[in-house]
A and B are shown apart, each in its own frame.
Chain A
Amino acid sequence: MGTTASQIGKDRLAEYQELTFLTKQEILLAHKKFSELLTKDERDLQNIRVPMETILTLQELKSNPFRNRICHVFSTSDIKNGSLTFEDFLDLLSAFSDSATLEIKSHYAFRIFDFDDDGTLDCGDLEKLVNCLTGETDDTRLTSEEMRQLISNILEESDIDKDGTVNLSEFQHVISRSPDFVSSFKIVL
């Protein structure tokens, strides 16, 4: 029951305002940007699903190292190919908006960083995370010694029950005391 018709109806708009953290202007802007990703015929269809490659051409996501993960997390497609409908797109923008609560942001951040989707951040996830942050080429990676030191530091700081992984509540606890998170976990169109 999404819309990608050329206009959003008024009650549809009010509903989106209520169910997300976006303002009216932001929803309309999102609609405009989303429509630009579609071809002319697709624009009149309802509930159209945009493939991941097209979504990733957006300016805001193009340079983001986590762009694939973001699409996977917010996608509601059954085949898990990362495609997004307009409502998924709104959910994405809502979680990344200025007024979203810390709980929502940390929840989605956890899922984005959970590369293997197993519900915890273990060493493999953390290693992939650090590599995303520093760069994929060989000379921009940390050495394995540095990586080991870094991961042991992270686990020392965040793993409360000392099981070698960071689960959701430990992650949320760490994030709640992290001063930079709210200002950096933000996408504004």
Chain B
Amino acid sequence: MEVDSVFYTDRSGRVASNPLLDQLPSYQSLLYRRKSSTSTNKRKGSTRTRLSSSGSGKWGGSTVRRQDEKQKAQTEQRPIRELAKTMAEKRRNKTQQLEEARDLSSWRQWKQNTRRNLRKLRDDAKDWLSSLQLWRGDIHMIEGMFGTGILSYFSFLRFLVMLNLIIFLLMFGFVMLPIIIASHSSGNTTYNQNDGSVCSVYPSSARRGLVIYHEHITDLLSGGGFLEQTYLFYGYYKVDKIFFSNATYNLPLAYLLATIAYLFLSLIWIVKRSATGFKRSLVSDEDRFQSFCNKIFAGWDFCITNENAARLKRSSLLYELRTDLEEERIKQKIADRTRKEKCRIYLIRLILNLFVIGVLAGCFYSIYVATIFSQEAQAKYAKGNFIVDLIYEYLPSIVITLANFITPLLFSVIINFEDYSPAFEIRFTLMRCVFMRLTSIGVLLFSLWSQITKCGDDPCICGYNHVLYSCWETRVGQEMYKLTIFDFIIIVAVTIFVEFPRKLIVNHWECGLTKWWGQQEFAIPQNVLEIVYGQTICWIGTFYCPMLPAICTIKYFFIFYIKKVSLINNCRPATRPFRASRSYFFFLGVLLIGLALACLPVAVSVAQINCSQACGPFVNYTTSWEVLTTTVYELPDGVRTLLLTLSSEAFAVSFFVVTCLAMFYVIALAGAHKRVINQLREQLVMEGRDKRFLIQKLCQAQRIPSVKSPVSNSRHRSSSSSSPSYHTSFSNNFNEALFLANSPPDSSTHV
């Protein structure tokens, strides 16, 4: 509590009344807003009389009356339910509005009525849409038990289910449906011709002769064998053009455009969803000022209904507050560091960062080696053991999963030595984990491509290794398929074989080790990274395996129920809570990084790498992108010139320059606004002090003639000094009576 040099505030900062202060226009306008809280006409009457009776408030009275009317006009325009009043008052307002509306012209009446009806229609539509939402009851229950942090994970999962479903419908509608329709209706289809060259040799991988059952399982798990020649993979789509009665359907073009469309759609949907979160996060990160207010005023989740959860929430809030207060103290300590200490810390950080880079490089190298080994083992068609075969197939996935399991533990140990502030520690570790997870997919793809485009010592005839990879897109699709399946298996296995036993052990066996291990906590960041990893694989793989989004939809559907059951039975809420708002922004941010990462391989393979000549829709073209350029050249003149201009360098450069200029302008504007806000804040503070100073002087000046006032009056005045005053806390030193030339009636000091 600052020691005000102008006023002395007592220990509790209790406001004392001051009739002068109560007459200020700003107080009166707030009073009008608060008037609704206790709905008595008497009160309204009393304030009105106070206004009229305060002679010194004549100027104040007129401004208040103007504000009165302005408030009234404002409330008229707003829907009634947005007023903070009791039901009875709202009803009265409504009848008042209706009466007034009757006086209006019929045009206005009609306008108001339509507005009201539209609003009702919109509300009904929103109702109906929200009742269709998937898993509403389950999510509500989770919210009640665990709070909004974990809730955001589950609503994120729901979002991904919907996204994958839409992507699948897109691919199905534009690529698979025409083929199915054509085969049933009268459409003629032209297939890609086998032109006899060496590049278009495609040995069938279907199994011949007697097939043992476990080979079926191997096929199912690895996407090979009988699955290879199905709609599942790129290689099956051999259709070139479909001739319907009045139109030609160019399937390769549709395939390419559908790919671009689903990436674009995902981008737009994610950005739209995160728009509000972005803005808020930027604002609250800019001025790091709000953390305490946010924790105290918005700290309690009112949707918690479980007694246990409430108790845990309380303890987590306590922990969080204590940590934040301690962090403030640590920040102070950091600012006080000597130069020698700083050098030491920087040296340690450098060494540890180099160590982290070394670990990452090691992991990536092992993924590379595993991929090459796996590809070579598959190429040999070694008819070894069934299990060994599967392991060779899944070797990259196994290595990636192991790396992603070990590295977070390592990072969280290392970060302790780097001596950052606690909040930064968490964020930095998380960033490292995100980088590890998403780059491991990139490394896998890179090693695959290095295999595909390697033809011994000579450059490849067909642009790719046609002997080993006659249909390389299908192989890439199979790898993505295997990654998805393995990811799902691991999640299920960890839940069944690690989390449930952990709960049983910790609950039934008391010893030091189990106490240290403790009950499972639902670690939101790791879980989110898991599903973002799965989604990135889906985005990359959809081009090579068009049914992958459907598989991912089903996978996430089951993951929801598995995670929910595990959460309810095995987990306790986290001690370190994950803020709901921040977390949603974090989820969508990581998802965007995943999307950006997914676009890169798809773009490179569409534009750079020669598509296989033996399978797939793009046989007649060198690269997949060529189909688009060919179609553009066949378009009518005007459209073609337009499209060519749009893709020319001149346009791109000028567009880039214009975007940069716009960005600089917006940044400058934001900086200017921030400066203005700071100035206004300072001005507000000064105005407040000015006001208090002036009022004190005024009271002092009035005290001199009032010394002769009767004592009884002063006693009465001080006893009624409990009125709610909105502005300042005054000294209780003014125990003498303070009253103005025209003192207001008694009832007005108590509101």
Q: How far is the CB of A72 from chain B (nearest CB, A)?
A: 11
Contact yes or no, B726 A167, CB < 8 A: yes
- How many Å lie between the Cα of A60 and that of B309 in the bound state? 12
Identify the closest chain B residue to A108 (Cβ): B84
Quick one: which of B270-287 are within 8 Å of A by CB?
277, 280-281, 283-284
Question: Given A179-B581, A186-B302, is A150 in contact with B292 using a C-beta cutoff of 8 Å?
Answer: yes
> At the interface, yes or no: B692 with Cβ under 8 Å from chain A?
yes
A129 to B321, CA, bound (A): 13
Interface string of A143-176 (1 = CB under 8 A from B): 0001001101111011011111101110100110
Looking at A38-46, A48-56, A85-93, the stretch in contact with chain B turns out to be: A85-93
In the complex the two chains form, is A118's CB within 8 Å of B302's CB? no
- Are B13 and A123 touching (Cβ within 8 A)? yes
Pair A62/B305 contact, Cβ less than 8 Å: yes
A19 pairs with B325, CB closer than 8 A: no
In the complex, how many angstroms separate the beta carbon of A176 from the nearest chain B beta carbon? 10
Indicate whether A117 sits within 8 Å of B581 (C-beta atoms), given known contacts A88-B87, A134-B321, A179-B280.
Answer: no
Q: Is the CB of A162 within 8 A of B688?
A: yes
A115 at the interface (CB under 8 A from B): no
Q: Enumerate B77-91 residues with CB–CB distance to A below 8 Å.
A: 80-82, 84, 86-88, 90-91
- Measured in the bound complex, the distance between the Cα atoms of B310 and A3 in whole Å is 33
Question: Known contacts being A63-B307, A140-B314, is A101 close to B82, with CB within 8 Å?
Answer: yes
The answer, yes or no, to whether B724 is at the interface (CB within 8 Å) is yes
A76 partner, pick from B4, B39, B309, beta carbons under 8 A: B39
B2 within 8 A of partner (CB): yes
Within the complex, the shortest CB–CB distance from B98 to chain A, in Å, comes to 11
- What does the 1/0 interface line of B687-716 toward A look like (CB < 8 Å)? 111001000000000000000000000000
A118: chain B residues at CB < 8 Å are 15, 722, 724-725
Contact residue among B84, B304, B318, B722 (Cβ-Cβ distance under 8 Å from A140): B318
Query: Are B302 and A175 interface neighbours, CB within 8 A?
Result: no
Q: A119-B34, A119-B725, A124-B12 are in contact. Are A162 and B314 (CB under 8 A)?
A: no
B132 within 8 A of A: no
Tally the A-B contacts, defined by beta carbons under 8 Å: 232
Q: A157-B293, A163-B727 are in contact. Are A62 and B15 (CB under 8 A)?
A: no
CB pair A187–B303 under 8 Å, yes or no, is yes
Task: Give residues 599-619 of B contacting A (CB, 8 Å).
Answer: none
Q: Is A32 an interface residue (CB 8 A)?
A: no
Q: How far is the CA of A24 from the CA of B126 in the complex (A)?
A: 12
A4 partner residues in chain B, CB cutoff 8 A: none
Q: Across the interface, do A64 and B297 meet the contact criterion of CB distance under 8 Å?
A: no
Beta-carbon contact of B15 and A122 below 8 Å: yes
User: In the complex, what's the smallest C-beta–C-beta distance from B124 to chain A, in angstroms?
Assistant: 8
A94, chain B: closest CB distance, angstroms:
7
Partner of A163, one of B140, B310, B729: B729
Contacts of A140 in B (CB 8 A): 314-315, 318
Contact B293 A21 (CB under 8 A): no
With a cutoff of 8 Å between Cβ atoms, the chain A residues found around residue B131 in the complex are 25
Are the C-beta atoms of B580 and A183 separated by less than 8 Å? yes
Given A23-B123, A134-B317, A149-B325, answer yes or no on A113-B12 (Cβ-Cβ < 8 Å): no
Chain B residues with CB below 8 A from A129, complex form? 296
- Knowing A18-B80, A165-B15, A184-B302 are in contact, say whether A119-B726 is a contact too (CB < 8 A): yes
Q: Is the CB of B290 within 8 A of A163?
A: no
Size bin of chain A's contact surface? 35 or more
Expressed in whole angstroms, the minimum distance between the Cβ of B589 and any Cβ of chain A is 14
- A91/B87 in contact, CB under 8 A: yes
Chain B interface bracket (under 10, 10 to 19, 20 to 34, 35 or more): 35 or more
A142 at the interface (CB under 8 A from B): yes
Contact A154 B283 (CB under 8 A): no
Does residue B301 face the partner (Cβ distance < 8 Å to A)? yes
User: Shortest Cβ distance from A133 into chain B, in angstroms?
Assistant: 5
Interface centre among B37, B126, B309 (most CB of A within 10 A): B37
Chain B contacts with A in 284-342, Cβ cutoff 8 A = 284, 289-290, 292-294, 296-307, 309-311, 314-315, 317-318, 321-322, 325, 328
B300–A179 CB distance below 8 A? no
Cβ of A13 under 8 Å from chain B: no
- What are the residues of chain B within 8 A of A20 when measuring CB–CB? 81, 87
- In the complex, A25→B13 CA distance in Å? 46
Nearest residue (CB) in A for B300 is A133
B579 touches A135 (CB 8 A): no
Could you say which residues of chain B place their CB within 8 Å of the CB of A186?
Answer: 302-303
Q: Which residue of B lies closest to A121 (CB)?
A: B297
Q: Which of B37, B90, B293 touches A174 (beta carbons < 8 Å)?
A: B293
Within 8 Å of chain A (Cβ to Cβ): is B536?
no
Mark interface residues in B572-593 (1 if CB within 8 Å of A CB, else 0): 0000000111100000000000
Give the residues from 5 to 31 in chain A that come closer than 8 angstroms, CB to CB, to chain B.
15, 17-21, 23-25
* Contact status A64-B299, CB under 8 Å: no
Hey, what's the 0/1 contact readout for B1-20 against A, CB within 8 Å counting as 1?
A: 11010000100111100000
Does A135 lie within 8 Å of B314, measured CB to CB? yes
- A residues near B292, Cβ cutoff 8 Å: 150, 153-154, 157
Contacts of B596 in A (CB 8 A): none
Determine the distance from Cα of A88 to Cα of B85 in the docked complex, in whole angstroms: 10
Q: Is the CB of A163 within 8 A of B688?
A: yes
Q: Is A79 part of the binding interface, using a Cβ–Cβ cutoff of 8 Å?
A: no
B460 at the A interface (CB under 8 A):
no
Chain A residues contacting B91 (CB-CB under 8 Å) are 1, 15, 19
Contacting residues, chain B, for A66 (C-beta < 8 A): 300, 302
B302, B318, B689: the one contacting A187 at CB < 8 Å is B302
* In the complex, per-residue mask of B361-378: 1 if CB is within 8 Å of any chain A CB, else 0: 000000000000000000
Contact A107 B84 (CB under 8 A): yes
The answer to whether B729 touches A165, judged by C-beta atoms less than 8 angstroms apart, is yes
Of all A-B residue pairs in the complex, the 6 with the closest CB atoms, nearest first, are: A161-B688, A119-B724, A179-B581, A63-B310, A87-B87, A181-B298
Known: A23-B123, A25-B131, A161-B687. 15 other contacts (CB 8 A): A20-B87, A66-B302, A91-B86, A104-B84, A118-B722, A118-B724, A142-B318, A146-B325, A161-B685, A163-B728, A178-B284, A180-B294, A180-B579, A181-B294, A186-B302
